[in-house]
A and B are shown apart, each in its own frame.
Chain A
Amino acid sequence: MERWKQYASLGALFAVALAAGLWGFRATGGALPWAKRSARALQRGLDEGGGALVDLGRGVVVAGPIRNGGLVPEFIGLVAVLVAVGIALYVYAGRRRGGAA
């Protein structure tokens, strides 16, 4: 398929998804964290709201249940274990492939 058709199709898909996202953002309370937005929408229905789509001042934070529950060290430990296992598997797979060849 021609490249411009690929990107036009992708652009159309993104446009539809972004339009739905903007409607959902405004209709479910505006600039709210997901957990609060979800609880409010499911308890009280749609509730128009506004606010910034991007709030860089808020920064990237660990999810509320983990942060508030004091489980950040456990979270970091789990990520470290998973990364170590992933790298070990990668090395093992490389050596096995090398041995087989």
Chain B
Amino acid sequence: MAHIHLGEGSFPLWALVLWTLVGAGLIGIVTYRIRKGGIETGQIALAGIGAAASFAVFQLNLPVWGGIHMNLTGLVGILAGPTLGALIALVVNVFSAALGHGAVGLLGANTLVNASEAVVAYYSFRALTRMDWDVFPASAGAATVGLSTGAVLMGAIIVVSGVNGSALPRADLTVAVAGLVGLNLGVAVIEGLVTGFVVRFLASVRPDLLALGDRGEPAGVTA
């Protein structure tokens, strides 16, 4: 569920420019790789459905851990692959910011956070299935690792940037952010379990979507 929920003007201008440039650079690389490597039509369909599910879940506040939302970016990464997963992270964040959930100025930072979740989840899932793990533990573990990576990246971005209007010294800010990251790790377990059940179900009814029949390369765009 890692997502920087700060309002407009919370980050200094240099940080906004930096994270926007890095985010734009990531999307540029992803777009180039998709254009160069191409995408199977089925992957585009999965990406469309993944974007819809991720966007809908993104906006629903669940009554656990005090009130949190899920992202499903781990699931999206496993199903659609790392490059389409990064693009879905951008699309979901743009629509969310348009509705006021997340600042427009933080689109670059939030896209980086959520794209890292999809990318790490995909490669973790691929690594675990190559080690002959079953689908459920592989997908649940990969999603948890991916979401944890996103949470740590979210914390790093906040600490590096600093927060306008916060009187906390950088060391205290780092400890406070560590608490927020810690909570995100707990949420990652819930999302990891949900991802595990969904991928396990898909593997039983549509194994072609995951290309796990021969324990080979899972689906997704590696370009």
A residues sitting closer than 8 Å to B (CB atoms) are: 1, 3, 6-7, 9-10, 13-14, 16-18, 20-25, 27-35, 37-38, 41-46, 51, 53-66, 69, 71, 74-75, 78-79, 82-83, 85-90, 92-94, 96-97
A37 to B69 Cα, complex, angstroms? 13
**Chain A residues, CB < 8 A from B101:** 63, 65-66
Chain B interfacial residues counted at CB < 8 A: 67
A99 to B67 Cα, complex, angstroms? 47
**Chain B residues, CB < 8 A from A43:** 163, 165-168
**Chain B residues, CB < 8 A from A46:** 175-176, 179
**Which label, helix, strand, loop or mixed, suits the secondary structure of the B interface?**
helix
B210 to chain A, nearest CB (A): 15
Whether a CB of chain A sits under 8 angstroms from the CB of B55 is yes
Q: Are B182 and A23 in contact (CB under 8 A)?
A: yes
A28 to chain B, nearest CB (A): 4
Whether a CB of chain A sits under 8 angstroms from the CB of B177 is yes
Whether a CB of chain A sits under 8 angstroms from the CB of B48 is yes
Given contacts A30-B66, A33-B66, A38-B5, contact A69 B141 (CB under 8 A): no
* Residue from the list A31, A35, A41, A54 in contact with B179, Cβ < 8 A: A41
* Residue from the list A45, A64, A93 in contact with B172, Cβ < 8 A: A45
**Which label, helix, strand, loop or mixed, suits the secondary structure of the A interface?**
helix
Report the nearest A residue to B55, measured CB to CB. Answer: A82
**Chain A residues, CB < 8 A from B49:** 83, 86-87, 89-90
Given contacts A42-B176, A75-B59, contact A63 B186 (CB under 8 A): no
**Chain A residues, CB < 8 A from B181:** 20, 24
**Chain A residues, CB < 8 A from B137:** 6-7, 9-10
Whether a CB of chain A sits under 8 angstroms from the CB of B211 is no
* Residue from the list B134, B144, B167 in contact with A3, Cβ < 8 A: B134
A69 to B178 Cα, complex, angstroms? 30
**Chain A residues, CB < 8 A from B69:** 34, 63
